[in-house]
Amino acid sequence: MKILIIGANGQIGTRLAHQLNDSEHDPVAMIRKEKQQEKFKKEGIPTVLADLEEDISHAFKDIEGVVFTAGSGADTPKSQTKVIDEEGAKKAIDEAIDAEVNRFVMVSALKANRDPKNWSDSMQHYYEAKSNADEYLRNSGLNYTVLMPGRLTNEEGTGRV
């Protein structure tokens, strides 16, 4: 299956691209900057330049599955979280529908499906964006999976869930 990884330059996306490249699947790393291409090309992983704040329809050509693992990052303004984590995700979902993509995997956040009264003030904007994007996916008609990881680490995985 040819899988578009949106947010491939991030830590989750990079690891996933390498794992998929070592499997029967064909990853395509969606990146925003040309200088990010080298780390994927040296591993034989194709890339597509696309920015979630612009037209991304070209990135979905011949794609069978999508993994959305893009995020605005902790050092960006709260408004950017809405632009990338919510509106960017919704745009990707719409493009997947238009391209008749078979499968969509959303990397969300553990508390995104909880009662908003239980979100901390400092994280409310993040969980709200993730929650809204998750709900949009659930109502999209796509075959989907929403992953809700808790605290992420940079340690090697164990291969077990």
pLDDT at 75: 76
Query: Does a structural domain hold residue 31?
Result: yes
The alpha carbons of the chain give a radius of gyration, in whole angstroms, of 15
pLDDT at 49: 98
Query: Does a structural domain hold residue 72?
Result: yes
Q: How many domains does the chain have?
A: 1
pLDDT at 119: 76
CATH number of the domain to which 105 belongs = 3.40.50.720
Query: Does a structural domain hold residue 88?
Result: yes
Query: Does a structural domain hold residue 158?
Result: no
Query: Does a structural domain hold residue 20?
Result: yes
Q: What is the rounded distance in angstroms from the CA atom of residue 1 to the CA atom of residue 104?
A: 12
CA distances, 92 to each of 50, 56, 86, 122 (Å): 11, 8, 10, 26
Q: Does residue 126 have an active-site annotation?
A: yes
> How many other CB atoms are found less than 10 A from the CB of residue 20?
21
Query: Does a structural domain hold residue 58?
Result: yes
Among 126, 127, 136, 144, the one annotated catalytic: 126
* Domain around 114: 2-147
The secondary element (H helix, E strand) that includes residue 66 is strand 65-68
Tens-binned pLDDT, residue by residue, of the chain (161 aa) = 999 999 999 999 999 999 999 999 999 999 999 999 999 999 999 999 999 999 999 999 999 999 999 988 777 788 888 899 999 999 999 999 999 998 999 999 887 887 777 777 777 888 888 999 999 999 999 999 999 887 777 788 787 76
